[in-house]
Amino acid sequence: MIKATYKKYILNFKNPSGTSRGVLKTKETWFLMLESDGKFGVGETGLFRGLSSDDVPEYEEKLIWVCKNIHLGLPTLLMQLSAFPSIQFGLEQAFLSLNSTSEFELFPSDFTTKKSPININGLVWMGDKQFMKNQIIEKISAGFSCIKMKIGAIDFETELALLKSIRKEFSEADIELRVDANGAFKVTHALEKLKRLSELELHSIEQPIQPRQYQEMALLCEQTPLPIALDEELIGVHSTKEKELILSTIKPHYIILKPSLIGGFSGAKEWISIAENNNADWWITSALESNVGLNAIAQFTYTLQNNLPQGLGTGGLFTNNFESPLEVTNGKLLYNSDKKWHFKV
């Protein structure tokens, strides 16, 4: 018999982190914990206030329901939780953890056993020009060959000048630059901005306009000189039919998968299958989970053998994250099995 409990945990940022939605100082998250026959399993339900489609008043009530009905088993629970993708993600982890020989080794591979690393991008948060420039220099010094910069919060001309200054010092061969607009561009100005950004030899731009403007985004993807990646567009889309319609209509160059926001590993696999059928590539990104969720996403990502830099460099953002074997070295994420987990909530 399985006993299930849950607990809320507040992650504190080392430095306030700026996005187009405002400045983040804390990140709320929840843990599902399973016990059976002396074994323990844990999963992180990475709720993201203001972004998750399951950011609803009855979220905790649903966690209580899950714990009371854990006997239904994983497949049944997942089917009944389509409107709660972060809880689906936490459940998948918790059951994998419970059934594993080591509670934090969910997908055994060379990543967990041989310290084989995952190539990741360095993340540059929004702020004033000097703050952003300092972050870029820091990421380059730390060995990152791919940098993702959030744009859309300060003046576009300032952001453009900053990107130009990077390109003067570092060519496309030196540093791959990705930008993430988080839907900040108005439809009427988006194409012009994409043209100007494309002159800087960027890899791609994430979500230039707000989601659910399918025809406008489709036209942008058709006309843009800069490859477009969908991100927020995938959040809150639960049916296979709707996923297929979105990707066949918009025809993006890339999609970005956040397991906490799209129904966990099973949700990510479905999106990947549909993307590949529509000639779109993809990469996986964490969504400010603790090291528990990040570890699960990283192990899952490694098994997929995608060679693009992944968005998994968020483990060092918090003052009260859990000690774990995850390390970022020379722009890569690795699992140093010589280090131990210290998880307590």
Residues known to be catalytic: 150, 258
Burial code (b: 16+ CB inside 10 Å, e: under 16) for 108-123 equals eeebbeeeebbbbbbb
3-class DSSP state for residue 61?
helix
As given in the structure block, the two tokens for residue 235 are: 């959040």
Place of tokens 């089917």: 79
Question: How many angstroms separate the most distant Cα atoms in the chain?
Answer: 62
DSSP run (H or E) holding 222: helix 214-223
Residue 176's nearest CA partner among 121, 228, 138 is 121
Q: How far apart are the first and last CA of the chain?
A: 23
Burial code (b: 16+ CB inside 10 Å, e: under 16) for 135-160 equals bbeebbeeebbbbbbbbbbbebeebb
Length of the chain: 345
3-class DSSP state for residue 243?
helix
What distance in Å separates the CA atoms of residue 104 and residue 324, rounded to the nearest whole number?
9
Within 10 Å of residue 276's Cβ, how many Cβ atoms? 12
Burial code (b: 16+ CB inside 10 Å, e: under 16) for 199-218 equals eeebbbbbbbbbbebeebbb
Dihedral class, residue 221 (left if φ above 0, else alpha if ψ from -120 to 50, else beta): alpha
What distance in Å separates the CA atoms of residue 321 and residue 319, rounded to the nearest whole number?
6
What distance in Å separates the CA atoms of residue 6 and residue 131, rounded to the nearest whole number?
38
Place of tokens 């799209």: 262
